Amino acid sequence: MGHVIIIGNGISGITAARNIRKLSDKKITVISSETTHFFSRTAIMYIYMGHMKYEHTKPYEDWFWAKNRIDLINDHVEQIDQASKKLKLKSGGHLNYDKLIIATGSKSTRYDWSGQEINGVQSLYSFHDLELMEQNTKNIQKAVIVGGGLIGIEMAEMLLSRNIEVCFLIREKCYWNNILPEEEAKMISKHMREHDIDLREETELKEIIGENQKVKSIITNTEEEIQCQFVGITVGVHPNIDLVKDTSIETNKGILVNEFLQTSDENIYAGGDCVELKNPNEGRNNIDAIWYTGAKMGETIAFNICEKGIKYDPGIWYNSAKFLDIEYQVYGDIKPRIAVNEATLFWQHESWKKSIRINYENDSHKVIGFNLMGIRYRQRVCEKWIAEQRTIEYVLENLGEANFDPEFFEQHEQDILKVFNKQSNEQLLQLKRTRGLSIA
């Protein structure tokens, strides 16, 4: 039968546990030093904002684990003894495994800024970070957030919900423009300012100043001093590989795995944010720290531990988020800069709070990606069009299929078609000019 131990109870580890149970009668143990039960990490902001309680973020009732014979241990794994296939726990106990899954997630990235040890300076990733933020933001008036990613804007929304003034430092010209195309990045920058966020573009943190071991202010790279009582460091995350540093398991930035998500030790697999793929699919990153890839990895590991021999395939890229009250979805390949062999169809609503971008190949007109702001499209439909290599003309002709219930969602197909027709006519005129043809 065998004993499978999973270190980490995030989406990757728990998906592995659930699928191993569906496929086998193996003994399953999940160990986590964060919380006893699996919870939705993306929902912790709503606990702080008072919209949910911790128990509301658990996807499964507490009885689910015993019923499915999945043992949960709230402890910290200090050491992996590969030779004897044994784990040493912080509590002093030991556990033996037949197969081990490492799903230790990410760690918040920190740079060498002075003053990060001062009380009131923190990141936001774990449940412990949420508890610390509760303490650090009591009775404060102003906060500074450093870093322009998704966690930063979530932290800003959390602070604003308690009427805490927010100054937001980003080194880019507009919010997240290393990921978003320029028009969408500018849209979100404008939207943040409308929510009274003091967004400082092309501004970097130089130093954090403390007084009586508490945050007093920060100094920027322009030598400006900004008074505050809290500093949120949200400059990204990186794979948490601390546990395997003193083992023979191969690592680079993350724990290196093959196409079956197996590490250099045949009895040990790894999944989720801590993983680095040796040979990622064409066009994909070797580290993908997002929810759906973590879930897909957990499922793949389960099949392979149960000897089904399945290679990891993340499928078509997608992600979703919320920038305050503007929803964001991306399907397929949308880069911040258009490639030479690509074209883009971009439409923005007159309110400027909605936009649709469809990228496609110049020559074949095959659609390669969708970027949506303030508008929802059906994931199944968008992925189907990309997988079937449908042309931009076909997609525009059938765009209504991607909409949700038209009774509740405004339709924009005709406006988008007008933009495409205008853009096509301009391209045709330009082509005629370059070839010296009559423009009539």
Q: Supply the angle between the helices 182-194 and 150-160 in degrees, to the nearest 10.
A: 20
Pairing of strands 77-81, 230-233: unpaired
pLDDT level of residue 140 (50, 70, 90 thresholds):
very high
- Please state, in angstroms and rounded to a whole number, the distance separating the CA atoms of residues 241 and 99: 18
Res 435 pLDDT > 60: no
Res 433 pLDDT > 80: no
Res 299 pLDDT > 50: yes
- Please state, in angstroms and rounded to a whole number, the distance separating the CA atoms of residues 211 and 179: 37
Q: Where in the chain is the domain with CATH 3.30.390.30?
A: 318-435
Give the DSSP letter string of 113-142. Answer: -BTTTSBTEE---SHHHHHHHHHHTTT--E
- Please state, in angstroms and rounded to a whole number, the distance separating the CA atoms of residues 193 and 179: 20
Average pLDDT of the segment spanning 207-225: 96
Instruction: Note the CATH number of domain 318-435.
Output: 3.30.390.30
pLDDT at 289 (0 to 100): 87
362-368 long-range contacts, CB within 8 A, separation 24+: 364/389, 364/391, 365/391, 365/392, 365/393, 366/390, 366/391, 366/392, 367/332, 367/391, 367/392, 367/395, 368/332, 368/333, 368/342
Which is the CATH superfamily of the domain at 121-235? FAD/NAD(P)-binding domain (3.50.50.60)
* CA-derived radius of gyration, the chain: 24
- Please state, in angstroms and rounded to a whole number, the distance separating the CA atoms of residues 182 and 350: 17
- Please state, in angstroms and rounded to a whole number, the distance separating the CA atoms of residues 349 and 215: 42
Eight-state DSSP code of residue 400? G
- Assign domain 3-107+240-305 one CATH number from 3.10.180.10, 3.50.50.60, 3.20.20.70, 3.30.390.30: 3.50.50.60
pLDDT at 437 (0 to 100): 43
Average pLDDT of the segment spanning 351-355: 92
| E strand or H helix at 15 | helix 11-23
Res 438 pLDDT > 60: no
pLDDT level of residue 335 (50, 70, 90 thresholds):
very high
Q: How many CA atoms lie within 13 A of 136 on its CB side?
A: 28
Q: Model pTM greater than 0.85?
A: yes
pLDDT digits (tens, 9 = 90+) for 167-214: 999 999 999 999 999 999 999 999 999 999 999 999 999 999 999 989
Residue in the block written with tokens 């795995």: 257
pLDDT at 429 (0 to 100): 46
Q: Where in the chain is the domain with CATH 3.50.50.60?
A: 3-107+240-305, 121-235
pLDDT level of residue 410 (50, 70, 90 thresholds):
low
Res 427 pLDDT > 60: no
- Alpha-helical (H) ranges within 28-149 are 44-48, 63-67, 127-136
pLDDT level of residue 408 (50, 70, 90 thresholds):
low
